[in-house]
Chain A
Amino acid sequence: MNKKIQKVLVANRGEIALRILRACRELGLSSVAVYSDADRASLHVGYADEAYRLGPSAATESYLRTDRILEIARQSGADAIHPGYGFLSENAEFAAACEQAGVRFIGPSSSAMRMLGSKTKARQTADAADLPRVPGSTQALGSLAEAKRVALDVGYPVMLKAAAGGGGKGMRAVASESELAGALENATSEAERAFGSGEVYIEKLIQQPRHIEIQLLADHHGNCVYLGERECSVQRRHQKVVEEAPSAAVDEALRRRMGSAAVRLAQAAGYTNAGTAEFLVDAERNFYFLEMNTRLQVEHPVTELVTGLDLVHLQIQIAQGDPLPFTQQDVVLRGHAIECRIYAEDPENGFMPSPGKITRLLQASGPGIREDCGIYEGWTVPLDYDPILSKLIAYAPTRALAIERMLRALQEYHVGGIATNVNLFRRILSDRGFRSAEIDTGYLERLLAESSTSTLESGAVRDNDAENAATIAAAIFEQSQIAAETKENGNAAPANAWKATGRREGMRL
């Protein structure tokens, strides 16, 4: 355990792979990237010291291939594997396979993962550690009759959840017994398809809860600390959209109570490395344990900004057996951070994914802006994976300033050629409810239902000067494009004119 890590294989792609590779470089470690055919031209491949092909584009033939990843680790001499998030990150068999192969898995042990990874198991562990949790079953439901009995016991409305779940898959809200049979069938088959396990359990549905989670770090020497909370209540279909730290609903006393509960849970499971305990918090500030994420989270940067810590550095140090270099008393939260998850999806079109070529990319910068990004201009967003493009994170002394800073950054940010959800963030961050932190897990769905057409556009006062400017710009673009084509070949008109270099070159004014 005392041998230092020398070379890290990053078993992931996209922004998180780059995030981890950057940490490796900062720590002076060699790095190994792996990639599928769809990702040969992705940023992480070029960034790593070494890169090896996993296989075809489908995740099951590439990023989920435990055997290939371990083989590449062995051949390249990597002594540690960072799984990132998603893919194999919460797969206890993979962690166990790493342990057997003598490669350090940068995350918890397979046994801790088994105790906390499955949601039903985690609930049993939580009960043993005396954590408040949402009333419901701690076992997978065996039959519809059992589901009916448990639901009646905790009282409707209830929530059906996949034991192996995540990302909102295999979840169904059930308002009354008449809906139960259908919902159970749907949740089970969805869970089966998504996770290979149809295990489903029941929880009481907490009305209008906030989703607040505690970041944990635990070393191999018995030290475990909490790094404050993240508020992730802005969700769509149980997928987080905007995250922030700290939460406006959490004061120091509640933070300490939630933090020590999370630490108790981790210690009960013999947990090590970074992990996140998720809680629901109701209007009376009661908190209920939801589940444990046994990996680095997408939204970890907001915690990094308010604590001043680097979670990936710490993960690597913990994995090589170093003790945590600070204690709970040293953890101080300072300022406020907000993260927007920028996706290749079209909010005006039912949130359809919009893979395709990024023809133009203008990125935000300036004070207090961090971007964890996996894209570049000219890159084609593949169809095969989660369409996350980038995470934009704003940090400022106060929540109000962080919101303004993020709005400023969003104005600088432009992704051309594909639809993104950038405008949705403008709308959320301008909304009075969000600005006064009156948010719960149903907030975004309500905002979206308010008016399906963008209130940003219709509600805004007409700015005649800006409209004139837009019209003049459109005419100038049109004219320069015609000029370019006339110059080029008499009277040609390429079908996709703006993409043609010739025309861009012709836009001399």
Chain B
Amino acid sequence: MKYKIDIDGRTREIELIRNSENTRWRVMLDGREIEADAVRVQRDVLSLLIDGRSYTALPDPRGDETAVVLGARRIPYTIADPRSLRSRSRTGAAQTGTRLVKAPMPGRIIRVLVHPGESVAAHQGLLVMEAMKMQNELKSPSSGTVTRIAVQPGDTVQPAQVLVTIE
């Protein structure tokens, strides 16, 4: 996969090529080849070894901004490649197909905000779920029509359980 990344005041071209070994990556960065060893060590935390130097990186999104934290620094970046997900969602290109809204964590459904057959906009609230003693609104990943609501208020749900289907 090739990316253009705006990071630290520069635009970098990067291609990740997976090596045969599980954690090794061959990376083409601005035409230069770099060997990188990458392992996820904790949730979200990436250990990177490049030429013997060890880095710990983790994603640190805040609102719409994406950033990577590397050591003591937080470095915002944007993916400039047109094929990348983020720029696609930013341009708001229509997405087709069936979308499943799943429970992100164990919890309880408090309210259902939509009806089957209702058309919804992207980011519109679909239902309110209580998790970790807090209520959160689960939002629609895209615009579309609600075809199925699999839960009702009071239901307890498990992670990854399908709650709402949107076409």
Q: Is A128 an interface residue (CB 8 A)?
A: no
Q: Which residues of A contact B133 (CB under 8 A)?
A: 40-41
- B34–A472 touching, CB < 8 Å: yes
- Could you say which interface size class chain A belongs to? 35 or more
Cβ-neighbour of B98 out of A380, A489, A493 (below 8 A): A489
Q: CB within 8 A of A414: which of B16, B62, B69, B86? A: B69
Given A41-B134, A479-B1 in contact, is the A471-B7 Cβ separation under 8 Å?
Answer: yes
A410 touching B122, Cβ below 8 Å: no
Contact B71 A502 (CB under 8 A): no
Contact A491 B55 (CB under 8 A): no
Cα A498 to Cα B105 with chains together (Å): 14
Q: A495 to B57, Cβ gap below 8 A? A: no
* Known A-B contacts A478-B3, A490-B97; A495 and B50 likewise in contact (beta carbons under 8 Å): no
Contact with B along A468-509 (1 / 0, CB 8 A): 111111111111011001001111111111111110100111
Taking a contact as CB atoms under 8 Å apart, the answer to whether A489 and B100 are in contact is yes
State how many angstroms separate the Cβ of B40 from the closest Cβ of chain A: 6
In the assembled complex, A416 has its CB within 8 A of some CB on chain B: yes
A342 to chain B, nearest CB (A): 15
A77 at the B interface (CB under 8 A):
no
**Residue B29 CB within 8 A of the other chain:** yes
CB distance from A363 to the nearest CB of B (A): 12
Task: Closest A residue to B88 by CB, please name it.
Answer: A493
Are B70 and A470 in contact (CB-based, < 8 A)?
A: yes
Cα A466 to Cα B71 in complex, Å, equals 9
CB of B118 within 8 A of chain A?
A: no
> Quick one: closest B residue to A498, CB to CB?
B61
B44 touches A360 (CB 8 A): yes
B152 touches A (CB below 8 Å): no
Does A472 contact B14, Cβ atoms closer than 8 Å? yes
Q: Which of A416, A467, A495 is the one whose CB lies under 8 Å from B89?
A: A495
Check B97 against A478 for contact (C-beta < 8 Å): no
Hey, which chain B residues are within 8 Å of A414, CB to CB? Answer: 58, 60, 69
Q: Provide the A406-419 mask, 1 if CB < 8 A to any CB of B, else 0.
A: 00001100101111
> Least Cβ distance of B71 to chain A in Å?
6
> Smallest Cβ distance from B74 to chain A, in angstroms?
7
**Interface contact B61-A496, CB-CB below 8 Å:** yes
Q: Which residues of B contact A330 (CB under 8 A)?
A: none
Q: Quick check: B104 and A500 within 8 Å, CB to CB?
A: yes
Give the CA-CA distance A495 to B50 in the complex, in Å: 32
Of B61, B88, B160, which is within 8 A of A501 by CB? B160
| Most chain B beta carbons < 10 A, residue from A472, A489, A494, A509 | A472
Q: How far is the CB of B35 from chain A (nearest CB, A)?
A: 10
Given A418-B62, A469-B55, A509-B40, residue A411 in contact with residue B71 (CB < 8 A):
yes
- With a cutoff of 8 Å between Cβ atoms, the chain A residues found around residue B46 in the complex are 473, 476-477, 509
B100 contact set on A, CB distance < 8 A: 488-489, 492
Residues of B within 8 A of A457 (CB): 73
Q: Is B12 interfacial (CB 8 A cutoff)?
A: yes
Looking at chain A's contact residues, the main secondary structure is: helix
**B residues near A509, Cβ cutoff 8 Å:** 22-23, 25, 38-40, 46
A378 and B43 CA atoms in complex are apart in Å by: 13
Establish whether residues A498 and B59, one from each chain, have CB atoms under 8 Å apart when the complex forms: yes
Q: A360-B58, A493-B142 are in contact. Are A501 and B50 (CB under 8 A)?
A: no
Cβ-defined contact, B84 with A41, below 8 A: no
Q: B66: shortest Cβ distance to chain A, in Å? A: 8
Instruction: Give the chain B neighbours of A390 by CB distance below 8 A.
Output: none
What residue of chain A has the Cβ atom nearest to residue B34's Cβ?
A: A468
Given A470-B75, A509-B38, does the pair A476, B58 have CB atoms closer than 8 Å? no
Contacts of B148 in A (CB 8 A): none
Q: Is A53 close to B, CB under 8 A?
A: no
Given A419-B62, A466-B71, A501-B159: A495 in contact with B55 (beta carbons within 8 A): no
Q: How far is the CB of A242 from chain B (nearest CB, A)?
A: 17
CB distance from A341 to the nearest CB of B (A): 19
B4 to chain A, nearest CB (A): 10
In the complex, A377→B123 CA distance in Å?
Answer: 24
Query: Are the C-beta atoms of B132 and A41 separated by less than 8 Å?
Result: yes
Contact B16 A476 (CB under 8 A): yes
B85 at the interface (CB under 8 A from A): yes
Q: A76 at interface (Cβ–Cβ under 8 A)?
A: no
B62–A504 touching, CB < 8 Å:
no
Interface status of A465 (Cβ within 8 A of chain B): yes
**Which of A360, A488, A499 has the largest count of B CB atoms less than 10 A from its CB?**
A360
- Per-position 1/0 for A82-124, Cβ under 8 A of B: 0000000000000000000000000000000000000000000
* A409 smallest CB distance to B (angstroms): 11
Q: Provide the A234-265 mask, 1 if CB < 8 A to any CB of B, else 0.
A: 00000000000000000000000000000000
Give A237 Cβ to nearest chain B Cβ, in Å. Answer: 24
Q: Which residues on A sit within 8 Å (CB–CB) of B25? A: 472, 476, 509
With known contacts A489-B100, A501-B105, A470–B50 Cβ distance under 8 A? no
Is B163 on the interface with A (CB-CB < 8 A)? no
Query: What are the 9 tightest A-B residue pairs by CB atom distance, in nearest-first order?
Result: A473-B57, A41-B133, A469-B55, A498-B61, A470-B70, A477-B59, A475-B14, A474-B77, A471-B12
Known: A456-B73, A465-B51. 11 other contacts (CB 8 A): A417-B62, A469-B70, A470-B75, A471-B5, A474-B5, A475-B27, A478-B85, A497-B61, A497-B86, A498-B61, A509-B40
30 A-B contacts (beta carbon < 8 Å): A41-B133, A414-B60, A417-B62, A423-B74, A426-B72, A456-B72, A465-B50, A466-B55, A467-B10, A468-B29, A469-B50, A469-B53, A469-B70, A472-B27, A472-B48, A473-B46, A473-B57, A474-B5, A475-B5, A478-B85, A489-B97, A492-B95, A495-B141, A498-B44, A498-B66, A500-B104, A501-B159, A504-B44, A507-B40, A508-B40
Q: Which residues of B contact A (CB under 8 A)?
A: 1, 3, 5, 7-8, 10, 12, 14, 16, 22-23, 25, 27, 29, 34, 36, 38-40, 43-46, 48, 50-51, 53, 55, 57-62, 66, 68-75, 77, 79, 84-86, 88-89, 95, 97-100, 102, 104-105, 122-123, 132-134, 139, 141-142, 159-160
